[in-house]
Amino acid sequence: MRVGIVSTNEVQKSLIIELLQPLVGPMKSYDLTHAKNGELEATNVHFLIVDMSDPALLDCQEVMDMVAENEICLMHEKDLFSMTLEQRVAWRNRTIDLIKTARPDLAEDLLQKKDEADNKHVPDIWIIGSSAGGPQALKEMLTNLPALPISIFIAQHISESAYGQVLLRVKQIAQHWSVVSAADGLQVTPGSIYLIPRDRTIEVRHGVIQLKPYAVQDLSFNPCIDAVIRSVYASHSRIGVMILSGMGLDGAAGIRAIKGKAKMIMAQDHESSGAKGMPDSARATGAVNLSATPVELARELTKLYA
């Protein structure tokens, strides 16, 4: 995408570029010289942000003629320097919405870049999916995992009545980590483990957890590992996945969807898995980068971040 900015106010220009460039790519800067020599009129940008808070532009007939005749112009009338950070982000979001409305073909790419910008201070997230045999595999893996600058989301197939017991068990074995139940509004922080509840998938927006009900309620496995992988990746692309012991196919479709895009995808090896269906089906996708015992997986994860 090509976006330009017209202003003689260097502070205003730099703030607009700082807010928008991570989402739209390198921006072209214009001033009155470009307006008077015809370069502005001949621009090939998709959108041109015109700083209407700049008196010099209002006095320039060439700029005013272009604004009146050209649909690519987006008028901006606010002084960003006087705004709070929250107000600047809100302005950025409104501007991006205007661009998406005018050019729906660019909307998906803009949304992904916006999520990346909003989550740039969020640590890498590792999703651990497990089912039958999973509690033992989790114990072996987590007891050998020191505190790391990442966040871990655990999706363990579980009954409603057993959720509290599993949460307590994870707290006992992962003593170097902060272990909590994933809940709406929680900040995603490094060195933390979040146990995902049943009937919910999870997104990360502005570094904050958002839990949402499943679109389809009749699920064979709960929480659904496939849904967790897809929804977390859609909102925060810096993820890794580890599939541990479990029956069935849950997790395979999720990692297939992010094959080649995740930080790394690991699976428990066939021999050490109490239930082999999930890790074997994960390997069958061709997306798994490493198969090993839970202890060896913990060591590999430590190497990546220690």
The answer to whether 166 and 142 are in contact (CB under 8 A) is no
131 is catalytic: yes
CA 9, chain centre distance (Å): 33
In the set 7, 53, 130, 131, the catalytic residue is 131
Helices (H), 1-59: 10-24, 32-36, 55-58
User: Is 270 an active-site residue?
Assistant: no
What are residue 64's phi and psi, to 5 degrees?
-65, -35
Separation of alpha carbons 240 and 259, rounded Å: 11
User: In sequence order, which ranges of 105-199 are alpha helices (DSSP H)?
Assistant: 107-118, 134-142, 163-173
Helix (H, G, I), strand (E, B) or coil at 123: coil
Please tell me which residue in 51, 115, 124, 250 is annotated as part of the active site.
250
3-state secondary structure at position 198:
coil
**Orientation angle between helical segments 85-102 and 10-24, nearest 10 degrees:** 60
What are the C-alpha distances in Å from 229 to residues 184, 264, 284, 306?
18, 13, 17, 24
250 catalytic? Reply is yes
What are the angstrom distances between the C-alpha of 48 and each of 43, 45, 62, 75, 231? 9, 7, 14, 8, 33
Instruction: Give 85's DSSP letter.
Output: H
213 and 200 Cβ atoms separated by less than 8 Å: yes
From the list 34, 76, 157, 236, the catalytic residue is 157
Catalytic residues: 131, 157, 250
